[in-house]
Amino acid sequence: LYQAHKPKLIFICTPNNPTGEALLRDDLLAFLDGIAPETLVIIDGAYMEYAAAKDKTYEVTAKDLIERYPNVLYTGTFSKAYGLGGMRVGYGVGRADVISVLHKLRPPFNITTLSLAAAIEALKDQAFVDACIEENFEEMVRYEAFAKEMGLETIPSCTNFITLMLKNHNSKEVSQKLLEQGVIIRDISSYGLNAVRITIGKKEQNSVVLEKLRTILGN
């Protein structure tokens, strides 16, 4: 397929959004080994911190990838595991020649000074990141148990969200009913799935979501 189309640009999202699964490290590297150096491959690792914590067989790092593949650009964010969603800070890591091209496109003031300062400070507090990730997966177990109780399937998640596959209810209607009650989740029917994507919140928040879901799905 690659040889037939020879794309100039390939995007790979691992872990994937909005479904939550991740590629095994060995499978990703095997794929990259077969890509010609003139094709730029962008690895979206926005949720990689979660995947690495859950299972090291999913973990890839920017340093590892860039050292092995000059045609790879790794992108990450401070909006997920680092807890800076409102600051809108992302980053890209690549070889100098790739970054130099991106600099030509980058606006001179593409991020605020405050956001940069917050990102720098966030890098100094790995204990906070580790604690948040641990709590995330502890709370995810509650959603998995809920799905089992309700006879629903889930997509195994390596992220800070979980996808519930619905059966007797329409995902659009479920999402709308929750919205009317002040809870925002994501309907992913546009992906051909009768499913909803739910971000794992704090314990109290999850209790509210699960209670409301149980009422909606029980009818």
pLDDT value of position 1: 66
pLDDT value of position 22: 98
pLDDT value of position 68: 96
Helix count and strand count (H, E) for the chain: 9, 8
Contacts of 26 (CB under 8 A, 6+ apart): 57
Residue type, 138: E
Q: Rounded to whole angstroms, how far apart are CA atoms 103 and 127?
A: 33
Helix (H, G, I), strand (E, B) or coil at 154: strand
8 Å CB contact between 196 and 175: yes
pTM: 0.92
- Bridge partner residues of 92 (DSSP): 75
Q: Rounded to whole angstroms, how far apart are CA atoms 112 and 18?
A: 28
Residues lower than pLDDT 70 in the chain: 1
8 Å CB contact between 61 and 29: no
pLDDT value of position 78: 97
pLDDT value of position 94: 97
Q: Rounded to whole angstroms, how far apart are CA atoms 133 and 152?
A: 25
